[in-house]
Amino acid sequence: MNKQTTLIAAIGVLVVLLLLCTGAVLVASAVLPNGLAGIGGQATATSQATATTAVEGEATEVSEVMPPPDIIVVPTNTPLPTNTPTDTPVPTNTPLPTDTPA
């Protein structure tokens, strides 16, 4: 095989791998209850809602629902602080210090 054929084959393999990975992500997102976040990610309220655990040989259903997050109320009618001019002017066009030979 020459270099051109090898390059075309390598690009073809990369395209096939990309399509396979894309298909796997789409299937996992559709099948898993939390999508890809359910794989090794943090548990959410959906994944913690029901859990089955074996106690003394029989399966029992444990239902645990996370409480809702705290609601923070932000007042919307408070005026924003305004910038008041200062009495001391900011000096402009100040000469830079020059290096004096030692």
Please report the pLDDT score of residue 14 as a whole number. Answer: 94
CA torsion angle 29 34 36 40 (round to 10): -150
Return the closest-CA partner of residue 64 out of 56, 79, 53, 76: 53
61-75 burial: b if 16+ Cβ within 10 Å, else e: eeeeeeeeeeeeeee
95 vs 41: which has the higher pLDDT:
95
Please report the pLDDT score of residue 49 as a whole number. Answer: 47
* 58 located within any domain: yes
* 49 located within any domain: yes
* 23 located within any domain: yes
Mean pLDDT to the nearest integer, 80-94: 72
Mean pLDDT to the nearest integer, 45-59: 50
How many distinct structural domains can be found in the chain?
Answer: 1
Residue 60 β-bridge partners: 53
Mean pLDDT to the nearest integer, 53-75: 63
* 75 located within any domain: no
* 88 located within any domain: no
- Look up the domain containing 51 and give its range: 3-36+44-63
Q: Which helix (H) or strand (E) holds 59?
A: strand 58-63
* 32 located within any domain: yes
Please report the pLDDT score of residue 47 as a whole number. Answer: 46
* 71 located within any domain: no
| pLDDT exceeds 60 at position 57 | no
* 50 located within any domain: yes
| pLDDT exceeds 60 at position 27 | yes
pLDDT above 90 covers a percentage of the chain that reads 12
